[in-house]
Structure 1
């Protein structure tokens, strides 16, 4: 089976994933121990302590310095568990770009962890602004580009007001992730009609990722993470613009500059990345690494927006999925074995 691998970002290690590093990856103890050695050197809690906690804590487990490390470890371990698949390309959502770099071999496992841990820590220390998620697709996942344009027009109107900062952070399938300062986020929440009983949804412990507000974080990350960390990918990579980075043809300085510059301060177009993956590589399936399963919907919605295999809405996707999985989420017990040789 020929697949595109998708690495998830923040918000995917939730209460349901507590203990999953030890439960799903008992053979990866040496890998995790290496990450924990790096965390101890920085005076941080270990993954073993976080994943092995008796209870899940939003305040503790969703912190940028903790969440990023947990997600990277879980995703990389899932990637290393893949069996009997041909990997055509790798992409990721937001923080998942750092994981994608390691999965593709552009960063070593330890250097990937260093990048993730550094950037997650810097963002937590600064915690500039916040994020909100709001859909432009209805629950049937039928594209509504007029609705999307209307929401972005509201964002622009709020951003034009004195003292207000609001912008698109991530184009995420049928969702818009918006980021800005507290005043602008509050005004968006007040002015947009509530939808589906839970939107607009404010994201806990999330900063204004992928906006100009993160320029200080990008500058600090650039001073701490040298170009020597970055190498040639062994597998094609698709970034948050939909741009391709090819093995043996990548300018590693440009890769670092994108990763620590544009990727931090400009909108992340996950929808475009999935569209390029579908049309450029024509995989049999998309494999979403763990932790969690929340990114699967955004991948499916992106494929609908790309008019992939003629799918127009959720019913079409579900019908195609029933024929043979187009989307395999490793966070789901009923799908994990499809790409791990039957292993957990």
Structure 2
């Protein structure tokens, strides 16, 4: 059986995430301690106890989700004798790509934490509150969603942020343009079109200032070749060199997360089991729509670790 590890993105955070891992496994506690030290604050305390509103802030949610994912990776190796190098590929949804890269040794946990804190802050600053929005179109494929977004733009920004597969496409941009996209989608018989509760319009042209900030930060970051292929969001194909990783991460800020194509790439390359590593079960659910021939499981708790060890 060929396994791919996939790492969740923003929206999968929840108060209490990682707490049971930290209490049960010293290697997990070490990961959280390293992230706390890198950020100069007790992020793990916020993760374990909230408040939820503070954890949900982009600048906190991004490194917090990475920390939980990397804690699971550490426990899998220590308790289940499963190393990242046992996977055929790794990939992550949006910020999860940083988790995947850190798991694959492209950069240290501390570097990932600092880059994600900067990324979250830069994304939040890029667009004044209320000027941007995101919406999920359900029951639509990428080509139709792209046509809807293009018509809705009317000189503003309305881009495809995520092609999540299974008929789920997310648009992002100016608030008025996104509202027009919702109306157009409904008029054209799209099953459902709803605004998302997000703090900024991610993965669209309005994020250009954040892309500049990440370009500068990534240029200065110590990045190594990953020990397993990392399937990049923007390419739906592996990146294997430090320069390619930097470019993919910069392009990702404004570009579409091509998750459907990334998952199909791995499945077509022989992956038969996708293991979602970290908080939540969103990605495992998407596997069932994109690659129904493959198995999927989520690992985020001590019980999940035990089940994986005994599989």
Query: Normalization by structure 2: what TM-score?
Result: 0.85
Task: Tell whether the 8 Å contact from 1:131 to 1:206 is kept in structure 2 after alignment.
Answer: no
Equivalent residue runs for 1:63-82 within 5 Å: 63-82=57-76
SS of structure 2 residue aligned to 1:276: helix
Confirm whether residue 170 of structure 1 aligns to residue 166 of structure 2: no
Confirm whether residue 234 of structure 1 aligns to residue 234 of structure 2: no
CA distance in 1 between counterparts of 2:11 and 2:137 reads 15
CA distance in 2 between counterparts of 1:78 and 1:114 reads 19
CA distance in 1 between counterparts of 2:29 and 2:243 reads 33
CA deviation map 1:35-93 (0-9, x unaligned): 112322xxxx532331232x553x32221101101111111111222224421110111
Aligned counterpart in structure 2 of residue 135 of structure 1, from 128, 135, 138: 138
Name 1:327's counterpart in structure 2: 296
Name 2:104's counterpart in structure 1: 104
Confirm whether residue 21 of structure 1 aligns to residue 18 of structure 2: yes
CA deviation map 1:82-134 (0-9, x unaligned): 22442111011111111111011111111111221211121123346232222
CA distance in 1 between counterparts of 2:81 and 2:116 reads 28
CA distance in 2 between counterparts of 1:206 and 1:100 reads 24
CA distance in 2 between counterparts of 1:232 and 1:151 reads 35
Gaps of 5+ in 1: 138-144, 310-319, 321-325
Aligned residues between the structures = 294
Query: Normalization by structure 1: what TM-score?
Result: 0.78
Confirm whether residue 49 of structure 1 aligns to residue 45 of structure 2: yes
SS of structure 1 residue aligned to 2:135: strand
The structural deviation recorded for 1:152 is: 2.8
Confirm whether residue 276 of structure 1 aligns to residue 265 of structure 2: yes
Q: Are residues 30 and 294 of structure 1, via their aligned partners in 2, closer, same or farther at CA, if it must alter by over 3 Å?
A: same
Task: Tell whether the 8 Å contact from 2:135 to 2:178 is kept in structure 1 after alignment.
Answer: yes
Task: Tell whether the 8 Å contact from 1:63 to 1:205 is kept in structure 2 after alignment.
Answer: no
Q: Are residues 228 and 152 of structure 1, via their aligned partners in 2, closer, same or farther at CA, if it must alter by over 3 Å?
A: closer
SS of structure 1 residue aligned to 2:279: coil
Task: Tell whether the 8 Å contact from 1:131 to 1:179 is kept in structure 2 after alignment.
Answer: yes
Task: Tell whether the 8 Å contact from 2:149 to 2:158 is kept in structure 1 after alignment.
Answer: yes
After superposition, the CA RMSD in angstroms is: 2.5
Confirm whether residue 253 of structure 1 aligns to residue 248 of structure 2: no
SS of structure 2 residue aligned to 1:283: coil
Gaps of 5+ in 2: none
